[in-house]
Amino acid sequence: MKKHTLVIWIVATSVTTAAHVTRAATSTPFTGQPATIPGTIHAENFDDGGEGVAYHDNSPGNYGGRYRTTDVDIQTSSLGGFNVGWIADGEWLGYSVFVGATGSYDVQLQVASLFSTGRMRIVFGTTSTPTITIPNTGAWQTWTTVNVTVPLTAGPQVMRLMFDGGNFNIAALTFSTRATTTAPTTYAAVTDRTPRPKPAVPAVGAAGSHFSDPTFGSRLLRVTDAHTRTASPNLSYRTPSASPQIAWNATSTRFYVGSTDGTILPYDFDAASMTATRVAAPGTDGLTLNFYIEPQFSSADPNAIYGAMNTGNPRTVSKYDFASGTYAPIVALDSLVPGLAGYVGGVMTGGTPTEDMTVFFGGASQDQHRYLLWFPVANLNARKLLDTVASTLNGAATTTALNFHLHAVTIDRSGRYVFLYPAAADSASPRFASPAYVWDTATDVFTALTTGGADGSPNTHPGGHGVAGFGVAINHDCCVTPPWDAGQWLMRTLATPLVAWNLIQPVLTPQEVFLSDHASWANASASTSTPIVSATFRYGNNTAPWRAWDDEIIAIETDQPAGTGAAVWRFAHHRSDVSSDASPTTPEFWYEPRPNVSPNGRWAIFTSNWEKTLGADPRVNTHRQDVFLVELK
């Protein structure tokens, strides 16, 4: 069925002569009053005024035969009420509206289609959204939400929903005031460098219990426990395996955790009461998401999360809409690359209000993937397909020879810069790939972050775990200038990624070697350089004296000039013993804390085995891990 885009417009022109006044035809609100923004506008409530005035429809009569006697086609909707359908290319609808306040608005469109041909724009006077792509939802009454942002001026407006491509249905548009990011640039937590060894491990209650860190006083919440899923007791629960993955939604009101068996559990978060509750699902402990890879929340739409589903084609990336409770495909990778096998390696997004996505795929297991797709979520036609083994981008040779398989891929918060991490085998002889490559998707220049060794010069210090902000990146490596210490982080702009500088100055003493970390930067923005949130952990045969930041959840300042030295705020000991049960000098990956910060910079979830006191996980025969939440203030 086709679908109409909602257009709101007002025409009030006149022609005056000496003899008479002739007024042009105008549309009037169908309900008697202009629709108010913010609010929900139902597609079938377009203005009165007729063809060419309140709407344009290519065919005579109401094909659906419901609700109104016009040429616009209306049918009964499975959502309740009605929807506009049978939309054809070039049609439009008009609606008189009144905007309550000047500002930026998020628009959620409820749409359904059996095709991927739908294209529309929302036009207010001279302001137009980018082209909105309508996805194939699988059925004419299987609904999903598509999102876009539009700046509006207070007062009566002219809005047109222009249907540039047809064959979809539309039920409603919901306008809401766009939430502004209020992520802090500083915190009130202590910034001293006094060593604070961990006291006795504090006892914790069941999931939902609150307590304070005994050393730093920060408030904490236990999110999960052994009974989080009654049908599957004693499983472990964890934050994402890669901290750059965004585990929070855009409004910091929802996050997800994963469990030992790969199940994804979303949680609603109430900041006022500092409570996390599983998203409800009838007849269950709570909703579980049908994704087999760690998903990625949308950077723009708080109700959307992306991943590859357990059912259907494993190489199709889909969106789950929390508002409608439905899944809809975003891109079928088999339609882009013939002869594919294997699965999706990972999905990430960046950018707002225009959101870009990366998907890497093509292999049967990790470190065997060779394809990377980058595209604006609302415009798959603008996609770029990279083959890292063949070193081609959309079939043409890349600026820098790649010739490696992909281990991991991350995207910065602007959506412009993509980090490529080669598989370990390709970083060894004979290829000697660099540890990381930066792809500027605006210029399609690829830059190798070389080590000064067998992979080439200069030494750009690309080591350690890294995280990308908005056009900048930070990694845990040392050092651009000496002295050497493991408690050092480097920062670089992605426009000039070969040039880095030390964040920590002076470094801590005495020197420490066996210290690692995972960092998160979900709250990075174009206008504000917010701190990164990191969790450090000592490992191996670390006999150095205990220092500040050891085994702590910390935040590191990012807005100081190079050479100034960043402040480091200290929030809590994460209390996770990362030593392997089989070999105490070797870290166990799933024991590592891996924090994930909320977009508003006020909260972070992290993984902990609470010094191996949470019981046993029978599925993998290790100590259990749970997810905890810490307040950042």
Beta strands in 443-529 (DSSP E): 445-449, 466-468, 472-475, 490-493, 500-502, 515-520
pLDDT at residue 26 in the model: 83
23: pLDDT strictly greater than 50: no
Query: Which of these, 445, 454, 452, lies nearest to 495 by C-alpha position?
Result: 445
Average pLDDT, integer, range 493-499: 96
pLDDT at residue 104 in the model: 80
Tell me the C-alpha distance between 605 and 459, whole Å. 34
Confidence of residue 24 (pLDDT cuts 50, 70, 90): low
pLDDT at residue 563 in the model: 82
Percentage of residues in the chain having pLDDT higher than 90: 82
pLDDT tens-digit map of 31-44: 999 999 999 999 99
pLDDT tens-digit map of 217-227: 999 999 999 99
pLDDT tens-digit map of 266-277: 999 999 999 999
Tell me the C-alpha distance between 575 and 204, whole Å. 12
| Winning range, highest mean pLDDT, from 157-161, 197-201, 559-563 | 197-201
Confidence of residue 16 (pLDDT cuts 50, 70, 90): very low
402: pLDDT strictly greater than 80: yes
Lowest mean pLDDT among 96-105, 175-184, 580-589: 175-184
Tokens at 616, concatenated: 């046993």
pLDDT at residue 11 in the model: 31
Phi-psi region of 188 (alpha: psi -120 to 50; beta: other; left: phi over 0): alpha
Higher pLDDT: 442 or 18? It is: 442
- Residue 425, H or E segment: helix 424-427
Whether 406 and 391 have beta carbons less than 8 Å apart is answered as no
Average pLDDT, integer, range 414-423: 96
pLDDT at residue 510 in the model: 96
pLDDT tens-digit map of 131-174: 898 988 889 999 888 888 888 889 999 899 999 999 999 999 99
What is the DSSP pairing of strand 74-76 with strand 82-84?
antiparallel
Q: What is the pTM of this model?
A: 0.77
Average pLDDT, integer, range 370-379: 94
- Residue type for 224, please? T
Residue whose entry in the numeric block shows the structure tokens 């924090």: 595
Average pLDDT, integer, range 328-348: 95
Phi-psi region of 263 (alpha: psi -120 to 50; beta: other; left: phi over 0): beta
pLDDT tens-digit map of 49-69: 999 999 999 999 999 999 999
Confidence of residue 15 (pLDDT cuts 50, 70, 90): very low
pLDDT at residue 5 in the model: 33
Beta strands in 415-547 (DSSP E): 417-422, 436-440, 445-449, 466-468, 472-475, 490-493, 500-502, 515-520, 532-538
Tokens at 146, concatenated: 């598509």
pLDDT at residue 53 in the model: 96
pLDDT at residue 181 in the model: 54
pLDDT at residue 106 in the model: 83
Query: What is the pLDDT of the chain when averaged over all its residues?
Result: 92
pLDDT tens-digit map of 447-462: 999 999 999 999 999 9
pLDDT at residue 183 in the model: 85
